[in-house]
Amino acid sequence: MNQDHLYTSLEPVGNLPNIFLVADGMGGHRGGGYASSCAVETILEEARVCGDKDAAHILTRAIRKANEVIAHRAGEDERFAGMGTTVVAACLDEDVLIAANVGDSRLYVIHEDGIEQVTEDHSLVQEMVKFGGINKEEARFHPNKNIITRAVGLEQELQVDCFIRKLRPGDRVLLCSDGLTDMLEDEQIRQIIDQKKDVRSAAQALVEAANDSGGRDNIAVIVIDPFI
């Protein structure tokens, strides 16, 4: 069962010039799939009606609204108890990237100098890396690597991380669930994207490579070329 959901719109959504979303659900088959789809739908609904002009504020408010809706639904129906979802969201305002995330779905920028993970995982192993307990390579294969420390739908007061950065010509942006990053190293991801001229073939090649490497989870991928 697919518990990942994604959404893209190159057209404005409310006061956002565009929007890109990836959500990876958890909490049993029924709960995880519902949580991720509900998060995407709620974020879009909230973005459409939000009167704020600041993109980071809109994304933050919309993700927090999704947290409320999912938590309320989980409290109403015991079949959905404990469900939650990661979210990574982004929009592009000309050459400026605005991103927000909760959980361990990621956003990368791929540029001529390499690949940069812009978001920070909210996970147990990332905390261990941050405080020097293990290194990044050890974290990738750690038995607790899928334990996340923050999720949409499971928090009373949800903290949303936001990032704003200027992009350069030639940069590409990747949003993905951990179904991709658990199977491929960052450098493999960069090489695949660099080898493909268009974003559609790059995204498909990433999914195929992750499946060829084991494909143990759903794989959600969005590749963006801001300068086309």
CA–chain centroid gap for 16, Å, is 18
Q: Which residues contact 88 (CB under 8 A, 6 or more apart)?
A: 21, 22, 23, 99, 100, 101, 103, 105, 106, 107, 119, 175, 176
Residues 11-21: tens digit of each pLDDT: 999 999 999 99
Q: Considering only CA atoms, give the Rg of the chain.
A: 17
In this prediction, residue 79 carries a pLDDT of: 86
In order of 69, 93, 94, 99, 130, the CA distances from 166 in angstroms are 33, 10, 9, 12, 25
Q: Greater confidence, 220 or 142?
A: 220
Q: Is the pLDDT of residue 24 over 90?
A: yes
Q: Is the pLDDT of residue 131 over 90?
A: no
- Percent of the chain exceeding pLDDT 90 equals 79
Residues 156-175: tens digit of each pLDDT: 999 999 999 999 999 999 99
Taking the model in full, what pTM does it have?
Answer: 0.93
pLDDT band at 116 (very low <50, low <70, confident <90, very high): very high
Lowest-confidence range among 143-152, 157-166, 183-192?
A: 143-152
